Structure 1
Amino acid sequence: MSIETVLVTGAGAMGSQIAMVAALSGCTVGLYDVDQATLDRAVEQLALRMTAQVAKGRRTAEATRAALSRLTIATVLDEHAADVDLVIEAIVEKLPAKRDLFARLDDLCPPRTILASNSSSFVPSAMATATARADRFLNLHFFNPALVMRCVEVVRGPDTSDDAVRTALEFVEQIGKTPVVLDREIPGFVANRLLGAVRDEAIRLLEGGYADVAAIDTAARTALGYPMGPFELMDLTGIDIGYLTKTARYEETGDPADAPSATVTALVERGDLGRKTGRGFYVYDDDGNRTATTDLASLKGTH
Structure 2
Amino acid sequence: MTINKVMVVGGGGQMGNGIGQVAAVAGLDVTLVDISQEDLDRGLRRIDKSLERMVRKGELTDADAKAARERIGTSTDLEATGAETDHAIESIIEDVELKQDVFRRLDAVCRPEVILASNTSQFAISKIASATNRPDRVIGTHWFNPPPVMRLIEIVRGVETSDETLETIQQLAKRFGKETIVCEKDTQGFLTSRLIMILVVEAMRIVEEGVATPEDVNRACQLAFNHAMGPLATADMGGLDTFVKASEAMTHHFGDRFRPTQGLRALVNAGHYGYKTGRGFSEYGEAR
Q: In 2, Cα distance between the equivalents of 1:287 and 1:157?
A: 36
Deviation at 1:281?
0.5
Matched residue type, 2:39: T
2:26 alignment counterpart? 25
Q: Does 1:71 align with 2:107?
A: no
- Alignment partner, residue 296 of structure 1: none
Which residue number corresponds to residue 286 of structure 1? 286
Does 278-287 or 33-42 show the bigger shift? 278-287
Aligned to 1:15: 16
Q: RMSD between aligned alpha carbons?
A: 1.5
CA radius of gyration, larger in: 1
**In 2, are the aligned partners of 1:217 and 1:230 still within 8 Å (CA)?**
yes
Give the match for residue 299 of structure 1: none
Report the alpha carbon displacement of residue 21 of structure 1 after superposing the two structures with TM: 0.5
Please report how far the alpha carbon of residue 257 of structure 1 lies from its aligned counterpart in structure 2 after TM superposition. 3.4
**Paired residues, number:** 287
CA contact (8 A) 1:3 1:167 kept: no
- Structure 1 unaligned segments of length 5 or more: list them: 289-303
Instruction: Give, in angstroms, the shift of residue 254 of structure 1.
Output: 7.7
* One-letter amino acid of the counterpart of residue 220, structure 2: A
Counterpart AA for 1:35: S
CA–CA separation in structure 1 for the residues paired with 2:254 and 2:50: 42
**Deviation by residue 1:263-300 (Cα, 9 ceiling, x = unmatched):** 11111111110111111111122286xxxxxxxxxxxx
Match of 1:83 in 2: 84
Query: Which residue matches 2:192?
Result: 191
Task: Specify every segment of 5 or more residues in structure 2 that has no aligned partner in the other structure, as ranges.
Answer: none
Deviations 1:20-66, CA, capped at 9 Å, x for gaps: 10111111111100011010111122112212221222101111111
Q: Which amino acid aligns with 1:62?
A: A
Aligned partners of 2:189 and 2:234: how far apart in 1?
16
The one-letter code sitting in structure 1 at the alignment partner of 2:276 is K
Post-superposition Cα deviations, 1:207-262, rounded to whole Å, max 9, x if no partner, equal 22222222212211121111211111111221112111112233x43833333221
Q: What letter matches 2:33 in structure 1?
A: Y
1:295 corresponds to: none
Aligned: 1:266 with 2:269: no
Aligned to 1:121: 122
The corresponding residue for 2:275 is: 275
Identity of aligned residues (%): 37
2:142 corresponds in structure 1 to: 141
Q: 2:287, 2:160 → 1: CA distance?
A: 46
State whether residues 198 and 257 of structure 2, in contact with CA within 8 Å, keep that contact through their aligned partners in structure 1.
no
Secondary structure in structure 2 of the residue aligned to 1:271: coil
Q: Secondary structure at the match of 1:29?
A: strand
Alpha-carbon distance in structure 2 between the residues aligned to 1:280 and 1:204: 15
Q: What is the TM-score with the length of structure 2 in the denominator? A: 0.95
CA distance in 2, matches of 1:64, 1:217: 33
